[in-house]
Copies of this chain bind each other. A is one copy, B any other.
Amino acid sequence: MAMVCLSDFEAYAKKYLPKVAWDYFAAGADDCTTRDENILAYKRIRFRPRMLRDVSVVDIRTKILGSEISFPVGIAPTGFHQLAWPDGEKSTARAARAMNTCYIASTYSTRTLEEISTAAPGGLRWFQLYIHRNRAASQQLVQRAEASGFQGLVLTADLPYTGKRRDDVRNGFRLPPHMKVKNLEGAFEVCKMSLLDPSVTWNDIYWLRSLTRLPIIIKGILTREDAELAVKHGVQGIIVSNHGGRQLDEGPATIDALVEVVEAVRGRVEVYVDGGIRKGSDVLKALALGAKCVFIGRPALWGLAYKGEEGLQDVLRILQDEFRLSMALAGCASVSEIGQHLVQFSRL
């Protein structure tokens, strides 16, 4: 079976992963409307490609928070990579480093953040954080992340409670006994997520700020109002995200929300987006609409499910090739030439 595009990896993962694991990765909240909209919304954006520009060299490199990455696609934080591949997040870390891009490791990894660090020394990594009811536990995680060489803290803002993913409820999803949420002490029940603190507010950013010198990136912003608040509270970056459509169903597609957020931010901090990226041209659209970089969630898991580290590299390499080709065919020789003039919203 030739792996030509990301859907090939999706088909592979659906076929070979245990159903419960596939369902968990694929799940969206309620009717899965937003999960699917994330993808459909890209299809409503049309390119306005320009011709006869010298694209003999196409430079796809970019920088996020000052660090160069080989192209503007990183790995979004997702949990439980061992469900996809035995080595779990260690493979993810190695693939990201090999492809010279950024990996956001999740609190809910099946490997400790120290193991992740050790697996791929020198890679660019950020650490994703939930704030727990036990603040000391969160503080400890932040300090471990900083000590292990993570270069950014990603605070997830859209999960005061876990969204209702019907298949997970039907399956009674929980981690197999031989896997552990190793960053957290003792046993942990996923379906309850009862450790998370739903009373978190914007003021807790100041508290987080007081714990670390790492840049803080906030993930899960979908409105101009919250984008304004994020800037005001001193974050260094915003990830426009709806948690892959796994939290509040029938919120906006992230590529649509990106437009609103970018407009509100007016360049004061970097803006990223995740959700629905399936082709190199999706990356080009996101950058044209103002994203500095995109992050992929499920496609990374499909890559892991295919062949671990190697499979994830395949996924990244395909996106890289497609992105470079899309840029060339749209008439862009470097990331700095990408702008809003390249796209328009379709009438349909």
Query: How near does chain B come to A173, taking the closest CB pair, in angstroms?
Result: 12
**Per-position binary interface string of chain A over residues 161-183, scored 1 when its CB falls under 8 Å from any chain B CB and 0 otherwise:** 10110100110000000000000
The residue in chain B whose Cβ has the minimal distance to the Cβ of A56 is: B199
The residue in chain B whose Cβ has the minimal distance to the Cβ of A321 is: B164
Measured between beta carbons, the chain B residues less than 8 angstroms from A249 are 279, 281
Is there contact, CB below 8 Å, between A199 and B55? yes
Measured between beta carbons, the chain B residues less than 8 angstroms from A247 are 329
Bound: A164/B329 CA distance, A: 11
The residue in chain B whose Cβ has the minimal distance to the Cβ of A345 is: B347
Size category of the binding interface on chain A: 35 or more
Using A51-B221, A164-B325, A329-B158 as known contacts, say yes or no to A248 and B281 having CB atoms under 8 A apart: yes
Query: How near does chain B come to A31, taking the closest CB pair, in angstroms?
Result: 7
A189 beta carbon closer than 8 Å to chain B: no
Is there contact, CB below 8 Å, between B170 and A2? yes
Identify which of A88-96, A222-230, A264-272 touches chain B: A222-230
Bound: A247/B325 CA distance, A: 9
Using A164-B322, A199-B55 as known contacts, say yes or no to A47 and B169 having CB atoms under 8 A apart: no
Query: How near does chain B come to A25, taking the closest CB pair, in angstroms?
Result: 19
**Per-position binary interface string of chain A over residues 142-162, scored 1 when its CB falls under 8 Å from any chain B CB and 0 otherwise:** 000000000000000110110
Bound: A194/B161 CA distance, A: 53
The residue in chain B whose Cβ has the minimal distance to the Cβ of A166 is: B4
Main secondary structure of the interface of A (DSSP, over half): loop
Bound: A4/B222 CA distance, A: 28
Query: How near does chain B come to A279, taking the closest CB pair, in angstroms?
Result: 6
A122 beta carbon closer than 8 Å to chain B: no
The residue in chain B whose Cβ has the minimal distance to the Cβ of A252 is: B46
Q: Which of B5, B48, B197, B279 touches A251 (beta carbons < 8 Å)?
A: B48
A43 beta carbon closer than 8 Å to chain B: yes
Using A51-B220, A199-B54, A199-B56 as known contacts, say yes or no to A46 and B251 having CB atoms under 8 A apart: yes
Binding site for B on A (CB under 8 A): 2, 4-5, 30-31, 33, 43-56, 157-158, 160-161, 163-164, 166, 169-170, 197-202, 204-205, 220-223, 225-226, 229, 247-252, 279, 281, 285, 321-322, 325-326, 328-330, 344-345, 347-348
